[in-house]
């Protein structure tokens, strides 16, 4: 059973939270509430990883968010997978960037190469021609609910291997809806994680509009806020890109 944010605090948590509160006044997170939610959420996300000795890094996260994120999202740390029979349809949550009508036939994924200015365009068929990966993982919303879902798509790592528009050394990935209203920033290690998919299917069916048709991001080592629906444009900026929910006080890495 996953820990939930309702789990009573252990003495260790208390100490960690105290430390977080102290640091949150400056730069760790915006506001004590966010710090609390972030830390409890981190415990929740790290369920099943106790064997990896992550209680140590839980402390380290308070010292260096980025460093821990790099370790936690390393390709060797996989989010748990479940039997396909346990998959359900999640609630449709968040519709920023989904307002306009979308013509699936006219839709293209635009990808601007690292250091470049002219986007390359991809049809859904081109993306579906790449190796299809299916996984049944838990979609976790930072609001406190989660649903097990079967997703299918192409690994972002496989996409970049086939179309080397950025090297693994590129530091960041910026993903936006076609109208740029919703936007997500990822560090490259998270983007290249083997469970990070450019996803076109949910529970064996093409994505519906409310769940992000024709293409969304899925990455179960991160909260739902990072799993942008209706992808339109991907860029590889040199600086850490803005992020819709990070701009509203949530942790930029959103997996901790
Ligand atoms: N474009 C877009 N993507 C989004 C959001 C959004 O508002 N707009 N909300 C996010 C949040 S907070 C969550 S929890 C998940 C929910 O995915 P679902 O609607 O498929 O369950 O989508 C994420 N992706
Ligand atoms: Mo969410």
Q: Is 222 in the pocket of ligand 1 (CB under 6 A)?
A: no
pLDDT score of 28: 41
Task: Check residue 58 and give its pLDDT.
Answer: 46
Q: Which two tokens stand for residue 44?
A: 């929740």
Q: Which is it for the CA torsion 55, 59, 60, 62, positive or negative?
A: positive
Write the CATH number of the domain with boundaries 50-248.
Answer: 3.90.420.10
User: What whole-number distance in Å separates Cα of residue 206 and Cα of residue 208?
Assistant: 6
The residue among 147, 165, 148 whose CA lies nearest residue 157 is 165
- Going along the chain, which residue ranges are E strands? 109-111, 120-122, 133-140, 146-155, 172-176, 183-187, 197-202, 205-206, 216-218, 233-235
Would you kindly state where each structural domain of the chain is located, as residue ranges? 18-47, 50-248
Distance CA 199, CA 217 (A): 6
Instruction: Give the residue carrying structure tokens 């789990």.
Output: 7
For tokens 């390359």, what's the residue?
120
Half-sphere exposure for 242 (CA within 13 Å, toward CB): 8
Residue-by-residue pLDDT tens, the chain, 256 positions: 334 444 444 444 444 445 444 444 444 434 444 444 544 454 455 444 433 444 444 444 444 555 555 555 566 689 999 999 999 999 999 999 999 999 999 999 999 999 999 999 999 999 999 999 999 999 999 999 999 999 999 999 999 999 999 999 999 999 999 999 999 999 999 999 999 999 999 999 999 999 999 999 999 999 999 999 999 999 999 999 999 999 999 989 887 3
* Closest protein CA for atom 6 of ligand 1: 94
User: What's the 109 CA to ligand 1 centre distance in angstroms?
Assistant: 18
- At a CB cut-off of 8 Å and minimum separation 6, what does 105 contact? none
What integer pLDDT is reported at residue 100 of this predicted model? 95
Tokens for 160, please give them. 């970049």
Which among 180, 171, 179 has a CA at the least distance from the CA of 244? 180
Q: Is the CB of 78 under 6 A from ligand 1?
A: no
- Is residue 253 within 8 A of residue 193, CB to CB? The reply is no
Which two tokens mark 56?
A: 């140590």
CA-based nearest residue to 88, from 247, 203, 220: 203
Rounded to the nearest angstrom, the distance between the alpha carbon of 144 and the centre of ligand 2 is 8
Say what the pLDDT of residue 68 is.
Answer: 57
Q: Which two tokens stand for residue 46?
A: 């790290």
**Nearest one of 81, 211, 196, 91 to 150, comparing CA atoms:** 81
In short, whether 227's Cβ falls inside 6 Å of ligand 1 is yes
Give the per-residue pLDDT at 244. 97
Is the Cβ atom of 95 under 6 angstroms away from ligand 1?
yes
Helix runs in 94-226, H state only: 124-128, 156-162, 188-191
């Amino acid at each position: 059973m996953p820990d939930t944010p309702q789990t009573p605090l252990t003495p260790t948590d208390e100490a960690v939270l105290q430390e977080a509160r102290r640091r949150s006044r400056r730069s760790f997170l915006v506001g004590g509430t966010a710090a609390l939610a972030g830390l409890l959420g981190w415990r929740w996300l790290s369920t099943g990883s106790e064997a990896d000795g992550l209680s140590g890094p839980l402390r380290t996260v308070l010292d260096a968010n980025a460093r821990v994120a790099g370790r936690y999202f390393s390709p060797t740390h996989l989010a748990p997978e479940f039997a396909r029979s346990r998959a359900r349809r999640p609630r449709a949550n968040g519709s920023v960037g989904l307002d306009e009508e979308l013509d699936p036939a006219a839709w293209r994924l635009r990808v601007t190469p690292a250091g470049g200015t002219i986007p390359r365009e991809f049809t859904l068929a081109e993306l579906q021609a790449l190796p299809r990966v299916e996984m049944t993982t838990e979609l976790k919303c930072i609001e406190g609910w989660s649903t097990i879902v079967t997703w299918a798509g192409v690994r972002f790592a496989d996409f970049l291997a086939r179309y080397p528009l950025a090297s693994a050394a590129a530091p960041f990935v910026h993903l936006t809806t076609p109208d740029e209203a919703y936007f997500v920033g990822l560090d490259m290690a998270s983007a290249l994680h083997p469970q990070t998919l450019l996803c076109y299917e949910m529970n064996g069916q093409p994505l519906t509009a409310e769940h992000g048709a024709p293409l969304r991001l899925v990455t179960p080592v991160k909260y739902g806020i990072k799993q942008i629906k209706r992808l339109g444009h991907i860029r590889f900026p040199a600086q850490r890109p803005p992020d819709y929910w990070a701009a509203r006080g949530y942790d930029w890495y959103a997996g901790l």
